[in-house]
């Protein structure tokens, strides 16, 4: 089977995530799971977190009609919500949408950028309890530069230390486990929906 013959379609919040999610998902599939037979297809981008949550069913149906789509990853920031509760709530709604392919919901705690902190030895706190990830990323950039999600998120996803992030961030472990679940469902033609 050729790479990309089947694949996961991410559903994400915005343009920074749309560029970054395929990079990170591909790295986890390849480097952590050794899965080169599953592609990462073009993400579907909501207009922000609230748009993704309110129109989840529409985005799931839109993702499913992507040629080669065999699974869907819903990836969003938990923000102030409990990732487990939000993920469970969205998984129930995804299941009710009845798209008939495996779906995994992953909520970064509190934001995608916190995964970068979890992988950076210069950050010494609890990455998932820290609410200023974007500001912290700006503070470590060359003088005069600020972290720009649409420019930097993809580059940082390409260089994140996967093992460090896995060790330091429960929500990043959830991403890795969710991708493993999706791969298993693709192999067995299952239709699980997991939070």
pTM of the predicted structure, to 2 decimals: 0.95
- Say if domain 7-194 classifies as CATH 3.40.50: yes
Share of the chain above pLDDT 70, in %: 97
In terms of C-beta density within 10 A (0-12 exposed, 13-18 middle, 19 or more buried), how is residue 153 classed?
Answer: buried
Distance CA 121, CA 62 (A): 39
Transcribe 81-129 into DSSP letters.
S-HHHHHHHHHHHHHHHT--S-EEEEEESS-TTHHHHHH-TT--S-GGG
Tokens of 192: 């699980």
21-71 pLDDT tens trace = 999 999 999 999 999 999 999 999 998 999 999 999 999 999 999 999 999
> What pLDDT, in 10s, does the model give residues 134-146?
999 999 999 999 9
**Strand-pair partners of 104:** 73, 194
Residue extents of the structural domains in the chain: 7-194
CB 191 within 8 A of CB 97: no
Q: Which two tokens stand for residue 72?
A: 């869907």
Give the DSSP H/E element, type plus range, for residue 175.
helix 170-188
């Amino acid at each position: 089977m050729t790479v990309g013959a089947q694949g996961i379609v991410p559903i994400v919040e915005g343009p920074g995530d749309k560029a970054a999610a395929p990079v990170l998902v591909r790295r986890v599939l390849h480097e952590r799971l050794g899965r080169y037979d599953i592609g990462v297809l073009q993400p579907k981008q909501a207009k922000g977190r609230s748009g993704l949550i309110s129109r989840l069913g529409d985005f799931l149906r839109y993702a499913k009609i992507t040629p080669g789509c065999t699974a869907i990853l819903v990836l969003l920031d938990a923000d102030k919500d409990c990732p487990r509760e939000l993920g469970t709530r969205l998984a129930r709604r995804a299941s009710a949408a009845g798209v008939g392919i495996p779906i995994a919901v992953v909520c970064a705690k509190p934001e995608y950028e916190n995964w970068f902190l979890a992988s950076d030895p210069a950050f010494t706190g609890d990455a998932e309890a820290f609410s200023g990830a974007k500001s912290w990323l700006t503070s470590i950039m060359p003088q005069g530069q600020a972290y720009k999600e649409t420019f930097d998120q993809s580059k940082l996803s390409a260089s994140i230390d996967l093992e460090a992030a896995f060790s330091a961030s429960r929500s990043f472990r959830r991403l890795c486990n969710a991708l493993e679940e999706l791969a298993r469902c693709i192999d067995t033609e299952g239709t699980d929906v997991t939070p």
